[in-house]
Structure 1
Amino acid sequence: MSTEMISITSYCLKYDIEGSFIDSLEDGGLIEIVWVNNERFIPYSVLPQLERYIRWHYELDINPEGIETIQYLLYKIDLLKQEAADLRSRLKVYEGTK
């Protein structure tokens, strides 16, 4: 199975971003980088996340640590939404037995 990827060098040149920014996202565990023959690549599956982080960083001036915090909070919100949906489902079961 081959994974479609773009080299970090090409991506940075095309979108005029700093390679160190991508490095900091990888260091924070926010994106995955793949090494092939001593060259670093970004899997296409990661690009939507990366584009979101680039907008946050360059348009909103949010540093990589802030991006990591925002991503964690969004993850927690999703968990809470799921928990609320589960509780609503359980409540409907009890309300239906009255």
Structure 2
Amino acid sequence: MTKENLIPAIEFCSLHEIELSFINSLHEFGLIDIVTKRHTAFLRTEELPKLEQFLLFKKELNVNLEGIDIIIKLLKRVQEVQKDMSIIKNRFQLHEKP
């Protein structure tokens, strides 16, 4: 992992006007990964869209960490069901063709 793929967590927090404790809590819930180098917490740039989604849940919808965790699990489950439905639909269409 190169430094270009990491941003200091404190910079993200400052930019979004949130406490570092929110980032740490998301990490404790297993929702994000934190990379620590020389006693500094960094975030992977790939995780930024996910983090911004969590911030939307927190700030705009006033959802707590437990709620965010549940929402993410439900969204993943919906994606799995949609994928399964797509596979079933494709198989069904194959069998219906004359």
What is the TM-score with the length of structure 1 in the denominator? 0.92
Q: Determine whether 1:76 maps to 2:64.
A: no
Aligned to 2:63: 62
Equivalent-residue separation in structure 1 for 2:64 and 2:58 (angstroms): 6
Q: Determine whether 1:43 maps to 2:44.
A: yes
**Deviation (angstroms), 1:48:** 0.4
Aligned to 1:96: 97
Residue deviations 1:2-47, cap 9 Å, x none? 1511111122122210111111111111111101111100011100
RMSD: 1.2
Q: Determine whether 1:52 maps to 2:59.
A: no
For structure 2, the residue ranges without an aligned partner over 5 or more in a row are none
Equivalent-residue separation in structure 2 for 1:32 and 1:78 (angstroms): 22
Aligned-residue sequence identity (percent) comes to 32
Equivalent-residue separation in structure 2 for 1:88 and 1:95 (angstroms): 11
Moved over 6 A (4+): none
Equivalent-residue separation in structure 1 for 2:31 and 2:13 (angstroms): 17
Equivalent-residue separation in structure 2 for 1:75 and 1:34 (angstroms): 24
For structure 1, the residue ranges without an aligned partner over 5 or more in a row are none
Letter in 1 for 2:97: G
Aligned to 1:16: 17
Q: How many residues align?
A: 97
